[in-house]
A and B are shown apart, each in its own frame.
Chain A
């Protein structure tokens, strides 16, 4: 009985925080002037401007996916399989951009190439102007979003490399060299991970609005955000969100089909007990790879962050930033703490029900949680508002609860999947043995499964904490007065705040995520 109640409660969290808001959003888009109507959709379909924005979004997402895969997969292989020194540190450096709100990197680049930026001081005027025009447009948007989402292919490549039986590569090493083994054996075996990362980057880029708006590249997600936040055209905004949701759904469907087609060679994979991932000795190429990686890290991560830092050291900037942003920063930590703790608990239950197929809807939970994560944040945000903005649900809509609900819907899949991966390493016999010894379900969970999966639980908590801490898309739409978080505070100040204040706030944001990330990385590196 306790088991059923607990598992259904975990399902209810996803339904209430993730699925119902999307349904409400869809229903809302079919209303105009108080009656059922397709007018919002007809307006979008008939507008050349909207089609142009949609095309921009697709081109942007395709370029970002392509670039992140081209750079991220080789980097993932170098970090995951080679003997290059400082791999752990460098991989953490490449992960920094995904841990901060995406616009932070955009602000960094604008500080670098802007009219008062470092480049304007060292480059001749035509060159600095050309650079300015490159960054403020599709070029800069692709560059910034690629930097932000680069960790996805890197981390997925590293994770999938760990699932390859090293004997498969050794068998190939007996007849050919490492480059051929990588091309013919290793990369085809991690292809499902590569495809998944490409699709994730595509849908996340599709829904991102803060970077394109800041760098003045017009995309569909920014349009729906503007329709909602500036004009408060609820029906139009929801209708504008639907195409993005449909693209996300279509791509996840394609990914699911692909994964099923390849199931025959991904099933039952895993390291042979006692064996390790085979390491490629780079030999004479080590220096080249090392310096290439360092240069890339300097260019993509250090350069924009350094320009932010140099701007932020202006007199009084940090004092002003703390004065204006300290309460938002503390609030961010509190909300992220609550969100991460709540989601770790539901993620544990959800992972349990998916692993053991305890409820008939286990597959639906797994798929829809990924779908809600892949949806643009604006879609979920608008859905949450349309669901909870009623006179009798003001206790949710008018308080921090709506933000926690947003986190719960969006990041449900993260805690669930991370804990699930740990559960897969625990033999079912562990729980069965406790059951045979007479332990009830709750006791088995608390004293057998939770201690065995403690590293996964900790990793899930920290990972969700970081994502909640950086969240901009949902919080921006749903935060009630007096509940703004640091990312929202910075974004709203960007319109009229002084550049040194914005830079100082961004640096505070970076500092607040780097420390927990380093802890997570240290603990998870060998997992």
Chain B
């Protein structure tokens, strides 16, 4: 599904990722585990196309999407779902509008949009909250909206950047379960970034440990 070849990235003159080679298979739940500042988020942003690699190439479904210094396929054409660490829910749009924005961009008709949003709202237990604004929701509900927004377009690849880090232990466990459930139901490939070992055990089918901008040679296979 995703292949990174010799990817190197500098941010503000600092080496963040060094010669990363990584292959992610379709349907996998890959967890990138590592301490803060080791380059996990940058790696996700490279895959999403939000930044370009300084060296190296990135392939998605066999297509070259980024090449040394260039984003060849822009983010909006990659069909990737992304859950940001701070969720990035659009505060001026209701829950329904947050989800609808993604489907409008895909060019779906109103009727189809309504059906898809209804399905996703049901899957993420958000019934009755469609007209609420993000500021009116609890932390867990906001998390589910972010999840629903990332999945509503049924993307084959979903990236999650420490999405549960701000939640309490109990809620984190329950939402972790929900993510696994949705992944099995929809069948997307998941790249999940965290520094929490508990989340890693719960979510991962494979773990890649990152340290100082590189991949640790010890890759744990949890399957």
Given A177-B76, A264-B91, 6 extra CB contacts under 8 A = A177-B74, A180-B105, A185-B90, A264-B133, A264-B136, A267-B135
On whether A175 and B102 interact (CB within 8 A), knowing A170-B50, A264-B133, A264-B135, the answer reads: yes
- Chain A residues within 8 Å of chain B by Cβ, number: 22
B70-105 Cβ-contact flags toward A at 8 Å (1 or 0): 000011101011101110101110000000011001
Is A171 a contact of B105 with CB atoms below 8 Å? no
| A-B CB proximity, top 6 nearest | A265-B91, A167-B88, A176-B105, A171-B88, A175-B105, A264-B135
In the assembled complex, the Cα of A262 lies from the Cα of B82 at a distance in Å of 27
> Which residues of chain A (243-280) have a CB below 8 Å from chain B?
262, 264-265, 267, 272
> Which residues of chain B (115-170) have a CB below 8 Å from chain A?
133, 135-136, 149, 153
Instruction: Give me 29 A-to-B residue pairs in the complex whose CB atoms sit less than 8 angstroms apart, sorted by A's number.
Output: A165-B88, A167-B84, A168-B88, A168-B90, A170-B48, A170-B50, A170-B84, A170-B88, A171-B88, A171-B149, A172-B101, A174-B48, A174-B78, A174-B81, A174-B82, A175-B101, A175-B106, A176-B76, A184-B101, A185-B90, A188-B92, A189-B91, A189-B92, A262-B92, A264-B91, A264-B135, A265-B92, A265-B133, A272-B86
Residues of chain A with a CB closer than 8 A to B74's CB:
177
In the assembled complex, the Cα of A264 lies from the Cα of B81 at a distance in Å of 26
In the assembled complex, the Cα of A170 lies from the Cα of B84 at a distance in Å of 9
Is A165 a contact of B50 with CB atoms below 8 Å? no
Q: Pick the contact of B76: A167, A174, A265 (CB < 8 A).
A: A174
Is B80 a contact of A174 with CB atoms below 8 Å? yes
A residues apposed to B, CB below 8 Å: 165, 167-168, 170-177, 180, 184-185, 188-189, 191, 262, 264-265, 267, 272
Q: How many A-B residue pairs have CB under 8 A?
A: 63
Most chain A beta-carbon contacts within 10 A, residue among B81, B85, B92, B149: B92
In the assembled complex, the Cα of A168 lies from the Cα of B75 at a distance in Å of 14
Residue of A nearest to B146 (CB): A171
Q: Report the minimal beta-carbon distance from B10 to chain A, rounded to whole angstroms.
A: 15
In the assembled complex, the Cα of A167 lies from the Cα of B159 at a distance in Å of 14
In the assembled complex, the Cα of A165 lies from the Cα of B135 at a distance in Å of 15
Q: Pick the contact of B50: A173, A188, A191, A272 (CB < 8 A).
A: A173
Is A175 a contact of B76 with CB atoms below 8 Å? yes
Is A175 a contact of B88 with CB atoms below 8 Å? no
Residue of B nearest to A175 (CB): B105
In the assembled complex, the Cα of A165 lies from the Cα of B87 at a distance in Å of 11
Is A173 a contact of B90 with CB atoms below 8 Å? no
Q: Report the minimal beta-carbon distance from B212 to chain A, rounded to whole angstroms.
A: 18
In the assembled complex, the Cα of A167 lies from the Cα of B44 at a distance in Å of 13
Is B90 a contact of A165 with CB atoms below 8 Å? no
Residues of chain B with a CB closer than 8 A to A177's CB:
74, 76
Is A173 a contact of B76 with CB atoms below 8 Å? yes
In the assembled complex, the Cα of A167 lies from the Cα of B83 at a distance in Å of 10
Q: Report the minimal beta-carbon distance from B133 to chain A, rounded to whole angstroms.
A: 6
Residue of B nearest to A166 (CB): B88
In the assembled complex, the Cα of A173 lies from the Cα of B45 at a distance in Å of 12
In the assembled complex, the Cα of A191 lies from the Cα of B93 at a distance in Å of 13
Most chain B beta-carbon contacts within 10 A, residue among A173, A188, A267: A173
Is B92 a contact of A171 with CB atoms below 8 Å? no
Residues of chain B with a CB closer than 8 A to A168's CB:
88, 90-91
Is B86 a contact of A174 with CB atoms below 8 Å? no
Residues of chain A with a CB closer than 8 A to B102's CB:
175
Q: Report the minimal beta-carbon distance from A368 to chain B, rounded to whole angstroms.
A: 29
Residues of chain B with a CB closer than 8 A to A265's CB:
91-92, 133, 135
Q: Report the minimal beta-carbon distance from B86 to chain A, rounded to whole angstroms.
A: 6
Q: Report the minimal beta-carbon distance from B73 to chain A, rounded to whole angstroms.
A: 12
Is A171 a contact of B82 with CB atoms below 8 Å? yes
In the assembled complex, the Cα of A267 lies from the Cα of B101 at a distance in Å of 23
Is B48 a contact of A167 with CB atoms below 8 Å? no
Residue of A nearest to B133 (CB): A264
In the assembled complex, the Cα of A175 lies from the Cα of B78 at a distance in Å of 8
In the assembled complex, the Cα of A262 lies from the Cα of B92 at a distance in Å of 8
Residues of chain B with a CB closer than 8 A to A272's CB:
86
In the assembled complex, the Cα of A390 lies from the Cα of B74 at a distance in Å of 71
Residues of chain A with a CB closer than 8 A to B50's CB:
170, 173-174
Q: Pick the contact of A167: B78, B86, B133 (CB < 8 A).
A: B86
In the assembled complex, the Cα of A188 lies from the Cα of B84 at a distance in Å of 21
B53-84 Cβ-contact flags toward A at 8 Å (1 or 0): 00000000000000000000011101011101
B181-210 Cβ-contact flags toward A at 8 Å (1 or 0): 000000000000000000000000000000
Q: Report the minimal beta-carbon distance from B145 to chain A, rounded to whole angstroms.
A: 12
Residues of chain A with a CB closer than 8 A to B92's CB:
188-189, 191, 262, 265
Most chain B beta-carbon contacts within 10 A, residue among A165, A172, A191, A272: A172
Q: Report the minimal beta-carbon distance from B147 to chain A, rounded to whole angstroms.
A: 13
Q: Report the minimal beta-carbon distance from A306 to chain B, rounded to whole angstroms.
A: 41
In the assembled complex, the Cα of A180 lies from the Cα of B88 at a distance in Å of 17
In the assembled complex, the Cα of A362 lies from the Cα of B136 at a distance in Å of 28
In the assembled complex, the Cα of A262 lies from the Cα of B93 at a distance in Å of 12
Residue of B nearest to A276 (CB): B12
Most chain A beta-carbon contacts within 10 A, residue among B74, B76, B78: B76
Is A174 a contact of B90 with CB atoms below 8 Å? no
Residues of chain A with a CB closer than 8 A to B80's CB:
174
